Each structure stands twice: as C-alpha cells, then as structure tokens.
C-alpha cells in the first residue's frame, strides 16, 4: 500500500513538471529566395504580354495567360510580407483582369478585382505617392463598375 502511495505521488509530480521547451523551427523568408524574385519578374512579364494582347483587341488570347498568372500571384502573396514589386505585379494583374471583365460587361466580377486592389493599397505600409495613386485608380474603377451596374 505504501508503495502504491509513493508511486501515485511520483506520478503526480511527474505530471506537474513543466513542458519541454518548444523546438525552434527555422523561419525562412520566402521573399529572400531567388525563385521569389524570378516569379515576380515572370508575373510582370506575362501581365505585360496580356496587356498588349488586350490592347490589340485580342482579349480571348490574353485570358488564358491571365488565368495561369493567378497561380503565380497566389505563390507571391502567400509570403508573410510580400515585396512591393510582388504587390505591384499582383495589382497590375488584378487591374487588367478587372478591365477585361468590364469589357465583357461582367461588372460585379470586375468590381471585385478593383476592390481587392483598393484594399491592397490602403493597407500597404509605408504609403507613398505611388501607392496612393494606385488606390485612387482602383477606387475610380470600383465607382465606374457600380455606375455601370446601376444602368
């Protein structure tokens, strides 16, 4: 009986011991990797190609490129703190996609893309003249979509 009490007391003491220290994991910054910068460049290049096609009235050819670009955008924005270049490339993609939706009279979808840009630039720190300009342009496009939707 005494042994049982001693064993129970020991078990209680062991159960009250502090938890082991958490194992520290290495937190890498994906934006510091070369592949991140290459993805930014790739997204910017493909968006410019799509922009040229859209401007030439070949939106049907631009659309599949933009749809593939969304995967690149998702990878860039998955970083805890995306770079300004990644945000700009992403913003340019969303702006072009929104304008294509407007051209197809898909005003609700277009507004979503423009609203995403407006929020993106409102939240960006530090604010600059360029980020404010991008935000203002996005808000103007949101207003244009809403005007078209009410017609």
CATH code of the domain containing 73? 1.25.40
User: Domain range for residue 43?
Assistant: 34-150
Return the half-sphere exposure (C-beta side, CA atoms, 13 A cut-off) of residue 58: 10
Other residues' Cβ atoms within 10 Å of the Cβ of residue 97: 26
Are 121 and 132 contacting, i.e. CB atoms less than 8 angstroms apart? Answer: yes
Q: Give the per-residue pLDDT at 27.
A: 73
Is residue 52, in this structure, part of any structural domain at all? Answer: yes
Number of domain units in the chain: 1
Is residue 19, in this structure, part of any structural domain at all? Answer: no
Per-run averaged pLDDT (10 residues), the chain, 151 residues: 52 56 71 95 96 95 92 95 96 96 96 97 95 97 96 88
Q: Give the per-residue pLDDT at 101.
A: 95
């Amino acid at each position: 009986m005494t042994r049982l009490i001693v064993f129970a007391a020991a078990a209680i003491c062991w159960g009250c011991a502090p938890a082991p220290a958490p194992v520290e994991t290495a937190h890498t910054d994906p934006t510091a990797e070369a592949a991140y910068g290459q993805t930014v460049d790739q997204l910017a290049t493909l968006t410019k190609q799509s922009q040229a096609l859209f401007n030439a009235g070949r939106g049907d050819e631009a659309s599949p490129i933009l749809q593939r670009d969304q995967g690149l955008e998702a990878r860039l924005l998955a970083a805890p703190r995306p770079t300004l270049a990644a945000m700009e490339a992403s913003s340019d993609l969303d702006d072009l996609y929104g304008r294509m939706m407007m051209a197809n009279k898909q005003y609700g979808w277009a507004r979503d893309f423009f609203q995403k840009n407006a929020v993106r630039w409102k939240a960006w720190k530090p604010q600059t003249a360029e980020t404010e300009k991008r935000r203002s342009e996005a808000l103007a496009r949101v207003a244009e979509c809403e005007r078209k939707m009410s017609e």
